[in-house]
Chain A
Amino acid sequence: MTTSDPRTDLELITAINRGELGAFDALYHRHRDWVYRLAYRFTHHHDDALDVLQETFAYVARKFPGFTLTAGMTSFLYPVVKNTSITLLKRKRREVAFDPAAIPETAEAAIGPADDLFAVLAGLSDDHREILLLRFVDGFTLDEIATALQIPIGTAKSRLHHAIAQLREDPRARKYFENL
């Protein structure tokens, strides 16, 4: 089973609830890359991201049978990946406290290679950076953001507005907005 399965997430979940294990494969292949990317964003570590990927889908598997999806699949998965990542990082921090270099401690490290843009992003608050990435990298709608972050949609709108404004006002990001 691959991502070519034409069924919607909801239909796949219904099929898994009925006992069709192949539908789980389709659901996994459909969302695994995004889960891995998200996990990597939180952990900035390939192996850790794979661990998070594994734990996230183990968690999903434990929801069956009887799983009811009340939002989009990515909205459901986002807090799972985030919390799993945070838990993993905390655990690693305890285990390898003697090697702080092994764990990304700064926002810059969690985002990617340093340049002006990432310096700007690193300067944003966690909330603003998170909502910018959700909206523009993951392509979440405001509804999905509100669901994933478990915040009112008005808060999501406001938070996104301020994040963009802060980005626009930063001189280091100005070059990206010059042609607008």
Chain B
Amino acid sequence: MKRPVARTLSLSCFIMVLAFAAAVVAHGQSAPRSDVQAVRFESVDVFLDSSTHKLAAYQFELFATGGHAEIVGLEGGEHKAFAHAPYYDPAALQGDRVIVAAYSIDAELPTGKTRVARIHMQITGAEVPEYQIKIMETLGPGGEKIAVTAESR
């Protein structure tokens, strides 16, 4: 027959072992694994500034450098002339590069700085990608080439 003190010690050790095991299991489940990266979404607004010229058509190429960015969607701009979704190649989705274009034959066309497109991106990892825009075509209402500056945010 054991003594009560010894019985109490055995029980305490057993409880401690159980608690340690539970803590280890709990730790294994909740701790972030080092090979899983964070995913987040962001949108890139593309602005064109045609100064005093009316902007009737544009085409630009956007590509991401650094980080891991995937294009997941596009929508039109703020001015009603370019409110509809622009032309783009659906193959650009899940890629980091897209050519975007739109035209408008509306009488009312934007001048100055205007957001012409919004591009939705999925970013994976902590690294922040940079976006570059290459203007390919910007035209006035008569089809004449006009100078614009481009900016993305």
In the complex, is A directly touching B at CB under 8 Å?
no
A-contacting residues of B (Cβ < 8 Å)?
none
B-contacting residues of A (Cβ < 8 Å)?
none
